[in-house]
Structure 1
């Protein structure tokens, strides 16, 4: 819990603030009250207060001087000033001290509550390490652990509202979110204990000039279901890939239409003409009524791996390792369809001319080892070395026993493990620095390869690693 110190020379104000504000609902704790500035100063330093609520006119040290001195020693402390005087010079001085707000007496609890939420959000921005812990616990923790972690951020409730945005700026204020977590580049998760301001989100997306997505899960979610909700709301935020324009979503597209389509798709694998016809049919309908990014990703790889395609050419060069790469490789769903249709007409490429270039293998591996943090498709690699993509795929598999995507993923996880044991970077920063632009995807891949989450590895295995080096 964040710690609060209250300073006012009027006993009834101290009593009101201490006993009639529902501090536990904010996950805040009043650690001391003072009737003069000097005592408040000592209390705040001794208790390492996170929030100071102070009057201006007090004996021994006035509130403005108190704030000025505390800011020097506790630069992250959040200040809320209360006063019976609506003097502009006081308000101006409060702004200079970076106070959150200036409340006039008699106090209105709603005004103070809003300032407390702002204070909590501001403090949360300085708790990045705890963000990483929260993401790990959402993925792998018990409901009780999830609630405990959320209480640290001022969300003391039994259910949570969840939203996500991608390729849009931080919309915390527009949604009136209580907690915001950055998942990756231009990708955010939002949480609240009350419904979001969805009208603001809809208006925001209307003014976006580039592909972007905002998704709001309409109902509150229990801690036990939070992991699945977070996965779904992130998927929903990618819906712009299906529509082709900035999109606001409140519902996951996944139902009978989707199931029916995949049944038709499986049957079409028997004949090239049927598969081609189905892909062309998709170009004429609203794919956003059938697919979300997860099912579009599944569809893409099902087509690539079908016997008709695998017998025609090496599909390894077109494999993708996440939603982010899908939306990076293709502008939208129709662009992806056009690529698949083009591949349908592709015959198996002969690679005999490239077999003399075995010496290129070490150069390719060196290039990957130096650029693994970038989005590198196999085709881009082939273009860089002026080699056949199928040949590079064959060579990597022959020399390492791994497919191209497996080699790249293992390389990234290996580098992540090194950073977890030797750097001060946060988990989110490590995720981005090794090429994973979605932290939840990073968690899943890391756990699949190592058996534990990055957070667990950092806390437990890295300390053992350092001990073994001594």
Structure 2
């Protein structure tokens, strides 16, 4: 059982939550309850819960202040916000503090099961990863030293050894955040580490796998210049693609940040943090693999200029009203133009903090939702929490721009079309998406996210409109494409199954036979008669 602490200033609500909700059904037990954030922190220190379920508005310390403190002091604890106020300005802060869910009072059992079943899955994954790491990740002496150096800790232990080393050092970070969003197994991490050790030993470069990043300490007798270092980094990136092509399908999956030159053991930590900072700028340069911290200085000076920042704020405020008008009247072309103008200033100031860009987009969406509510206009298909969460999940400015445009267009359709027309439109969009992307991974959850619909709602309207489940439709499209390839090419059956999006050959054969009555091999033979 995972442990939960409940926090709410109303005694009746605390008792209802702790006593009458079926916690054991979802694998949790309540180990304590508090009436404000300060009491909750004492309880957290005593009980070490896995989850904190907290109200927003409370005396002494609010739920958001509590969430912020938990993120700093207890980063492994999951926080769920519970509020009687359908007010998404709270949601924006909640997302920034790493809150895993945002539910409205009165809490019903359907929402309870939905949120805590998902949370159960996350906690199980976290536990498994910790278990694997504890049993397999053994730090050797060199790795412990590198860890101290990048943290700037225990430097006195290594001063003598490093004073005899090459005097010029750069820290390089290969960040695999994108990769491990999709695939996170110890065997892959170990394979990357082995490839790194084998490649970089020729340059006498020590390596450390820390978190989701591979860290290198490049040291030379002379200054480590960009023109000498970048070719080696790209060569190693090519090696990763050649050896782990199924993981690193695109260069964009590999993000490299390079810190500025360090000339003493005390400066290694600074170079490390600069490399981390540089790697985050992949957000602005989708097709750039290697980003040097020194290249960001000019842009940051530009972005930190107060006059320029004031102009960006003014630009955002001005476009907000225009976007509202375009969304309300359903001017899809104008929405596209307005979004383009909205991002112009952001794209020009690459030195702006990513958090500020996300904050600007969140503010825009929140204000649109509020103003629509003021006018009594509903958005039945928009999951507000999902929309705000998505802004913080997207990891490139280009993708954020595309997503925001699509989301506002969906809003506009919600407002200007009838429910029936909306149903037809969503089903048509889903069908077109499947026809264009059948070779990619497509699930009901992913399609619902693309359309900004609740999963159950999308499943129901698709079944009602087409008479079949969404997954069955995806398979149908893939099988039709497979029959075409079987007729027109000599490709092997296994290759064709991969080409049309079936990543399990046996499953492809099973679905094909169900659809066509024969196996792919028999089908091809029949076509050649």
Q: TM-score range by the shorter chain?
A: 0.3 to 0.5
TM-score, normalised by the number of residues in structure 2: 0.33
Q: Name the one with the larger helix percent.
A: 2
TM-score, normalised by the number of residues in structure 1: 0.37
- Per chain length, whose mean CA-contact separation is higher, i.e. which structure has more relative contact order (CA < 8 Å, sep 6+)? 1
